[in-house]
Amino acid sequence: MDKLGDETWKAFATYLRLLVDQLVSNQNGMHVKMDPSGIVQQTLMEAHLASKDSGVTITLAWLRKSLSNNLADEFRRQYGGKRDVRREHRMAKSFEQTSMRLESLVRDYGPTPDQLVEEQERAMALLVALETLPESQRQAITLQLWHNKSLQEIAEITGKSRLAVAGLLKRGLQGLREQLRGRSEF
């Protein structure tokens, strides 16, 4: 049996989807030719094999690096094989910004090694809780918290009124609080 539980793999998948969504929203036209879910699956498969065969400890940083490499490979395949170091640098920076946003939601103080592990565990718990929300609430929360979209922008993206989006955000955040209430680190 896999040493990482199903909940951890689901949280990893959610985390990777958030990163890919962030990148796709920042790269004009990229989403037209790329299959973000395929890239997430490829990264998860590599993580599974690395943890199973090589005993590698899978961390969020490991996942970010692997996803970044897979996206860069796919981008080169889709866009003529020419390497654009500037674009790869922008992708890496985008991943870092997205992951820092996630980690800032759960960070208390400066990171020690123990705190870094704790932060990753809180981030994973948040992702697992996020995955339990209805799709519309999850979309509204990720657009606001990870993509820094305003209520008006979220309303335009989702085709809902600002009032409906506010309700989705309120219910979604309430649902997250309920999911995380029993965890002492929150």
DSSP 3-state of 8: helix
Distance CA 143, CA 159 (A): 13
Task: Report whether 140 contacts 172 (CB < 8 A).
Answer: yes
Domains of the chain: 6-113 (no CATH), 133-181 (1.10.10)
HSE on the CB side for 73, CA within 13 Å?
A: 10
Distance CA 34, CA 55 (A): 31
pLDDT at 87 over 70: no
How confident is residue 31, by pLDDT bands cut at 50, 70 and 90?
very low
The pTM of the whole model exceeds 0.85: no
Give residue 53's Cα distance to chain centre. Answer: 25
Alpha helices in the chain (DSSP H): 6-26, 30-33, 36-53, 60-78, 85-104, 113-132, 135-145, 151-158, 162-180
Question: What would the mean pLDDT of 31-47 be, rounded to a whole number?
Answer: 80
Residues above pLDDT 90, as percent of the chain: 22
pLDDT in tens, 146-163: 888 999 999 999 999 999
Measured between alpha carbons, how far is residue 19 from residues 39, 62, 142, 184, 185 in Å?
Answer: 11, 13, 11, 27, 24
Tokens standing for residue 144:
């606001």
Length of the chain: 186
Tokens standing for residue 153:
């922008």
Question: What would the mean pLDDT of 154-181 be, rounded to a whole number?
Answer: 93
Residues 6+ apart with CB under 8 A from 49: none
